[in-house]
Amino acid sequence: MTNEHHGGCLCGAVRFTVSRALRGVIHCHCGQCLKTHGHVAAYTNVLREALCFSREDGLRWYASSERAQRGFCGKCGASLFYEPHDSGTLSIAAGMFDRPTDLRSIGHIYVDHKSDYYEINDALPQFPDSSEGELDSDSS
């Protein structure tokens, strides 16, 4: 898998390049992700320093909690990023990457918070809340 990955929002007002290997995709079933994405969120994760913007005029940030902020496009509404304060990392919605991504799903978090209208029908590891970093070392 290449260590340079390009992506952006639907309208192109946010474009970025990640210059490191990406962690596998974690599916988050928490209430915030359900509300911001309209369904389960699928995120990979990188060190913040590995992200470079080639276009960010549409990028807006929302303080979603005391612990983190979420980045979205103010023009097309795409939900792009989840950034915990003081972690040095940034989660990027997997659907924002140009294809092929070579990403693979590695697990589910906050499954005790998932909505009642769907089931999880795969054999990936499931965690009732956070994976406490257990999945973070897995690169796709």
pLDDT tens digits along 56-95: 999 999 999 999 999 999 999 999 999 999 889 999 999 9
CA angle 25, 20, 15 (to 5 degrees): 80
pLDDT score of 38? 94
The answer as to whether 34 is a domain residue is no
The answer as to whether 103 is a domain residue is yes
pLDDT score of 134? 80
Instruction: Give the β-pairing of 51-55 and 59-62.
Output: unpaired
Tell me the pTM.
0.91
The rounded distance, in Å, linking the Cα atoms of 84 and 67 is 6
pLDDT score of 131? 84
The rounded distance, in Å, linking the Cα atoms of 75 and 77 is 6
CATH number assigned to the domain comprising residue 67: 2.170.150.70
Residues (pLDDT < 70) of the chain are 1-2, 137-140
The answer as to whether 126 is a domain residue is no
The answer as to whether 83 is a domain residue is yes
The answer as to whether 128 is a domain residue is no
The answer as to whether 35 is a domain residue is no
Domain that holds residue 77: 5-28+40-107
pLDDT score of 128? 94
Nearest to 140 by CA among 8, 12, 18: 18
pLDDT score of 93? 98
The answer as to whether 122 is a domain residue is no
Q: What is the CB neighbour count within 10 angstroms for residue 123? A: 6
Domains in the chain, number: 1
pLDDT score of 139? 60
Overall residue count recorded for the chain in this entry: 140
The single-letter DSSP state of residue 35 is H
Helix (H, G, I), strand (E, B) or coil at 105: strand
Sheet containing strand 5-8, edge to edge, reads 5-8, 15-18, 51-55
The answer as to whether 86 is a domain residue is yes
